[in-house]
Structure formats: structure tokens, C-alpha cells
Structure 1
Amino acid sequence: MTTSLWLALISSFSRLAGVALGAALTGQAQRRQWTRDRQVGACTAIVVQSTRVQLALRQQWRRAQRVDWAPWNEALAEISLIVATPAGVEAAGEMDELFWQNSEMVVRGELNDETAWEAASQRMEAARLNFINTAKRHVIGSRSRLNRLPIRRPQSPDGWPASPSPATLNSTTGESGGGSNL
């Protein structure tokens, strides 16, 4: 074989190897990005559903309404499958444990006034904050931490929550005309 033929073969092989290596690296990067996106989505579902469950627990306490646990359990299943760090799964489990404890306290009548609810709510919000900071650190890779949730409840002179005035109640449903009466 001549030198020019060898150079052509080496050049062709080098191009093919470069294309194959580039495709492999691109595929790996896309899989990592897809996984990261799924992890962020799973963490978002936990935060959203934890808020929903906390509000539902308040409804269970205030109005004897049942909590629909299915969306929360689905979010827990997703986080268990998607999030690779045990810390994230553990932080979600801590919220789940608090939710069940508080639900049992409602059933037994141990959450019997606003002060008891506020204490339970603070524990649930602390667990949610811990989960958010854990997810930020382990999934997103952020070193920043939240010191508190962006929840800013209005205070009434007699404590939270302020009771709706008769003018804000809808006469047909008895529900508050604006915002949540949770």
C-alpha cells in the first residue's frame, strides 16, 4: 500500500472515530440533562403536593373533610424512582411522616385549636424547607439555602387566620369570596 492510501485510511478512520465519540458524548450529556430535568420535576411535585396536603389537613381539622392522599403518594413514588440521592428521598419521607402524624392527631382530636394547628403547621413547613434546601443542594447543585418559605400569613388581632367578614362570604356557598379561608 502506498503512503497516500494509508493516510486516506487513517484520515477516514479518525473522522469516523470522532463522529462516534461525539455522538456518544452528546447522548450521555442528553441523558444527564433528561435525568436532571426529571429530578427537578419530581422535587417540584413533592413541594406542590406537600402544600396541597398541608391545606387538606387543615380542611380535615376544620371541616372534617377527608384528605386525598393519592397525588402525594404518586409524588413520593416518583421521587423514590427519580432522585438518586438518599438525602432527597429521606427529606420527602420526613414530610410524609409528619403528615401522617398530624392526620392521626386530627382524628384523635389532639389538634383542637389554632395554637395546636400553628405548631403542627410550623413543623410541616420546616420539613418542607428542609426538603427544598436538600433538593437545591443535591439535585440542582446550588449552595444557596432558603432560611424561610415565602409564606407570609396575615395576622389578625386575635391570631391567625383572620376570620372572613360577612361581606366577603358568598351567600350561596358560604365560601370566602377571595383567597383561601384555610
Structure 2
Amino acid sequence: MTAPVWLAVISSASGLAGVTLGAALTGRAQRRQWARGKQIDACAAIVVESTRVQLALRRQWRHAERVDWVPWNEALAAISLVAAPTVVGAAGDVDELFWRHSDLIDRGDLNDEAAWVAASGLMERARLAFINATKEHVIGSSKRLERLPIRRPSEYLPGGTGDSPSTADSSS
């Protein structure tokens, strides 16, 4: 073969190799982006459902309403499929506190507002730890939250001033 033919063959082979490599790298990047999106969605579901469950536990305590655990369990199942062990462990810590406090409510051992505030503080700290684990291991952010965006006014805490929690929170 002559030099121009070899150049054409090499050029064609190089072009084909470049297209193949580009397709493989693009596919890999798309799969990585898809997996990250699924992780973020699963983590967001944990945050949303943990808020719902904590409010439902309060209604269980105040009004003997039963908690619907199905959405929470579905969120836990989703997170276990897509997230890093640290994030799954942080979700499990939230779940463990929900179990403990639900049992305390069922037994009647959570018997006043001060006990509820202490219990909800533990749940909120566990939820915050989950959020910070998500920020670090899923989003890649080193910026930690110091507290949840929940801002319970001091008058709703035991010993606070103003409306008592029992009258102000009668609907929750």
C-alpha cells in the first residue's frame, strides 16, 4: 500500500477510536449523573418523610393517632439501594429514634411537653446528622448545617412565656 492509503486507514481508525472512546466516556458520565440524581432524590425523600414522621409521632402522642410508616419505610428502602454506607447509617439512626419514641408513646412513658421537647430534640439532631452526611457524601459539600430550619419560638418550650404549648399546639 502507498503512503496516502496508509494515512487514510490510520486517520479512519483514529477517528473511529475517538468516537468509540467519546461514546464510552459520555455513557459513563451519564450513568454517574443518573446515579447521583437518584441519590439526591432518595436523600430528599428521607428528609421529607422524617419531617412527616416526626410530626405524626407528635400527633400520636397528643391525639393517639397512628403513624403511617409506609412512606418512611419506602424512603429507607430507596436510600439503602443508592447511597453510601455512611448515609444509610445516618438514616438508620433516625429510624432507630423513631422506633424508640414510638414505643415510649405507646407505653405512656412520654408524658409531658418537656419529655416531648427532649425527644424531638434527639430526633432533630439525628435528622441534622443525616442531612450533613448527605451534604458531605452525596453532594460533596463541606458546608455543614448547624441546625435544622425549624425555629420553635421559646414561648412554646416548657417554662417559656406566652401561650402554653398545650393550647398553642392543640391542632398538631
Shorter-normalised TM range: over 0.9
Residue 104 (structure 1) aligned with residue 103 (structure 2): yes
Contact 1:91/1:130 (8 A) holds in 2: yes
Aligned to 1:144: 143
C-alpha deviation, 1:159, in angstroms: 7.3
The one-letter amino acid paired with 1:146 is: L
C-alpha deviation, 1:162, in angstroms: 6.6
C-alpha deviation, 1:154, in angstroms: 2.5
Equivalent position SS for 1:153: coil
The one-letter amino acid paired with 2:165 is: P
Matches for 1:85-164 after TM superposition, within 5 Å: 85-156=84-155, 157=161, 161=165, 163-164=167-168
Gaps of 5+ in 1: 165-175
Aligned to 1:5: 5
**Root mean square deviation of aligned Cα:** 1.6
Contact 1:154/1:162 (8 A) holds in 2: no
Instruction: State the alpha-carbon separation in 2 of the partners of residues 12 and 98 from structure 1.
Output: 63
Instruction: State the alpha-carbon separation in 1 of the partners of residues 64 and 52 from structure 2.
Output: 16
Instruction: State the alpha-carbon separation in 2 of the partners of residues 118 and 14 from structure 1.
Output: 68
Equivalent position SS for 2:148: coil
Aligned to 2:52: 52
Equivalent position SS for 1:163: helix
Instruction: State the alpha-carbon separation in 1 of the partners of residues 167 and 65 from structure 2.
Output: 19
The alpha-carbon distance between structure 1 residues 38 and 46, as it changes in their structure 2 partners (threshold 3 A), is same
Aligned to 1:76: 76
- Residues 98-143 of structure 1 show CA distances to partners (whole Å, capped at 9, x for unaligned) of 0000000000001111000000000000000000000000000000
Aligned to 1:17: 17
Aligned to 1:181: 171
The alpha-carbon distance between structure 1 residues 62 and 148, as it changes in their structure 2 partners (threshold 3 A), is same
Instruction: State the alpha-carbon separation in 2 of the partners of residues 121 and 159 from structure 1.
Output: 20
Contact 1:155/1:161 (8 A) holds in 2: no
Instruction: State the alpha-carbon separation in 2 of the partners of residues 2 and 20 from structure 1.
Output: 27
> How high is the sequence identity, in percent, across the aligned residues?
65
TM-score normalised to the size of structure 1?
A: 0.88
Contact 1:154/1:160 (8 A) holds in 2: no
Equivalent position SS for 1:148: coil
Instruction: State the alpha-carbon separation in 2 of the partners of residues 143 and 160 from structure 1.
Output: 39
C-alpha deviation, 1:153, in angstroms: 1.5
Aligned to 1:170: none
Aligned length: 167
Instruction: State the alpha-carbon separation in 1 of the partners of residues 134 and 124 from structure 2.
Output: 15
Instruction: State the alpha-carbon separation in 1 of the partners of residues 77 and 164 from structure 2.
Output: 34
TM-score normalised to the size of structure 2?
A: 0.93
